[in-house]
Amino acid sequence: MEITNFKDMYLAELQELASVEAQLADALLRMAGAASNPALKRVLIHHRAETETQRDRLATILETHGASPTAHTDQAMQTLITEAKKMLTILTEDNLRDAGLIASAQKLEHYEIAAYGTAAALAGQLDLRDEQKMLHLSLEEEKRIDALLTQLAKREVNPEAVAA
Ligand SMILES: [Fe+2]
C-alpha cells in the first residue's frame, strides 16, 4: 500500500502504535509474573492497566477516521519483546532477573515515548487538537513509568542485584 498524504501517514503511525500497545499488554503481564520485587511487580501491573487504556485511546482515534486498529503489526516491538524474553531465560537469580526486567521494560518504554512524541506532533501539524491531547496523555504516562522504573532500579533493584 502506498501512502500519498500526511494524514494517512499519521494514521499508519497510529496503527503501528496500536500494535505496540496490544503486544505490550501481553508482555507486561508475563514480565509482572516474572518479577520478584513487590514494588516492581506493582509498577508493571499498574502499567499494564494504563496500556489497555492507551490501546483504547488509539482505537477511538482510528475509528474516528474509519481506520482499523489491527491493520499493522509492529515488527520492531516484536523484536524488542523477543529480546526481553531471551534476557528472562538467561537471568536465573531473582535480583538479577528484576534488574534485567527493568532494563528490558525501559527499552520498550523508550520506543513508545519516541512513537507517541512523533504521533502527537503529527496530530498537531494536522490541527487535530483533541487527538493531540489524547496522544500527549499517553506520552506522559509512558514518561512517568520510565521515571518510576529508573527510581526503582537505582534505589532498590540494582543495589540488591549487585550484592547478590
Ligand atoms: Fe504504552
List the one residue out of 17, 2, 1 whose CA is nearest residue 119. Answer: 17
Query: 144 CA to middle of ligand 1, Å?
Result: 11
Query: 147 CA to middle of ligand 1, Å?
Result: 14
pLDDT, tens digit, 9 for 90 and up, residues 36-75? 999 999 999 999 999 999 999 999 999 999 999 999 999 9
Which residue ranges form the domains of the chain, and what is each CATH number?
Answer: 6-163 (1.20.1260.10)
Number of CB atoms found within 10 A of residue 135's CB:
28
Query: 130 CA to middle of ligand 1, Å?
Result: 19
Residue 123 contacts by C-beta under 8 Å, 6 or more apart in sequence?
10, 129, 131, 132, 135
Query: 155 CA to middle of ligand 1, Å?
Result: 24
Q: Quick check: 164 pLDDT over 90? A: no
Query: 163 CA to middle of ligand 1, Å?
Result: 32
Query: 25 CA to middle of ligand 1, Å?
Result: 8
Q: Quick check: 1 pLDDT over 90? A: no
List the one residue out of 80, 79, 68 whose CA is nearest residue 109. Answer: 80
Query: 51 CA to middle of ligand 1, Å?
Result: 5
Query: 164 CA to middle of ligand 1, Å?
Result: 31
Query: Chain-wide mean pLDDT for the chain?
Result: 96
At 73 the three-state DSSP class reads coil
List the one residue out of 161, 36, 164, 24 whose CA is nearest residue 106. Answer: 24
C-alpha distances (whole Å) from 141 to each of 19, 54, 105, 145, 163 are 18, 9, 14, 6, 32
